[in-house]
């Protein structure tokens, strides 16, 4: 009888660990960002009004960098870095998409705006914006098979454990 309990506990533990393990590939179809050239924004999180460094590696064309949080920047062929000043009215906590284009290829990365401004007395000037890269929130993002399976396994585990302990106690009471 003890062996059955140990085997059941081991099986339940192995199942829970398997379902909660991160997937081997975190990339979602259509969201791959592979280019023949390298690119980055440094730092990746900055306050409104701050300055970022835009870098490209291996681009054999003029590189163009666009975002809704700073003016467009062009890096001539052979130039690897440039700077851009983040707009003063960038929303703290927002994530903006930065697009690097080299010839026919494009790649994107994110730039997060952290709280506070470098110069709070500055009055923002009008500029052309492309908008914020905002998510859909946690409640309407769609269904993820791993989350559904994990939730189902947890519910089944709780119900199975409750049933086991309920049946075990009624058997001991002699009822």
Joined together, the tokens standing for residue 34 give 């592979």
Residues 125 and 151 in one domain: no
Q: Token pair 């058997």 is at which residue?
A: 171
pLDDT for 27: 40
What pTM does this model have?
Answer: 0.51
Other CB atoms within a 10 A radius of the CB of residue 128 amount to 7
> What tens digit of pLDDT does each residue of 13-35 get?
667 656 665 544 344 434 457 88
Strand-pairing partners, residue 75, are 63
**Domain check: are 57 and 105 in the same one?**
yes
Both 122 and 41 in one domain: the answer is yes
- Residue 56's domain comprises 33-134
């Amino acid at each position: 009888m003890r062996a059955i309990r140990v085997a059941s506990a081991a099986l339940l533990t192995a199942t829970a660990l398997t379902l909660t393990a991160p997937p081997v590939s975190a990339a979602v179809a259509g969201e791959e960002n592979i280019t023949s050239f390298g690119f980055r924004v440094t730092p990746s999180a900055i306050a409104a009004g701050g300055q970022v460094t835009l870098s490209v590696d291996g681009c054999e064309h003029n590189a163009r960098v666009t975002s809704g949080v700073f003016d467009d920047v062009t890096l001539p062929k052979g130039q690897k870095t440039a700077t851009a000043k983040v707009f003063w009215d960038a929303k703290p906590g927002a994530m903006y998409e930065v697009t690097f284009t080299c010839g026919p290829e494009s790649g994107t990365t994110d730039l997060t705006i952290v709280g506070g401004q470098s110069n709070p007395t500055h009055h923002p000037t009008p500029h052309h914006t492309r908008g914020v890269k905002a998510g859909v929130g946690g409640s309407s993002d769609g269904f993820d098979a791993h989350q559904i399976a994990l939730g189902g396994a947890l519910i089944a585990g709780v119900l199975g454990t409750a049933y086991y302990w309920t049946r075990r106690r009624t058997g001991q009471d002699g009822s």
